[in-house]
Structure 1
């Protein structure tokens, strides 16, 4: 193989690697956002349930 061919192959592989890494990073960021959204939904649900339970406990204690 000539030096020019080797340089073209190396450059092509390098560009392919960089593009693959960009796609992988964007996928990872998307997964992190998805997990973050899911966690926020779960936390909001917990807040609602704990507020409801707290209200019930206050009501039962005050009715005595």
Structure 2
């Protein structure tokens, strides 16, 4: 699959990948109220926080993330 910033997904992309890309890039994706979610789940992390707190160590150990 070839992905380009100017034209989106091209080439041999499967239909599900294309639909997901189009939804996220061209139809607004999902809009979550992050502040409200953090009130419900104080430990909620974005990717950068997860990487700093847990993910980097998993990658360094070569361990798969817990399910």
Q: Specify if TM > 0.5.
A: no
TM superposition score normalised by structure 1 = 0.23
TM-score, normalised with respect to structure 2: 0.22
Decide which structure has greater helix share.
Answer: 1
The structure whose residues are more often strand, as a share, is 2
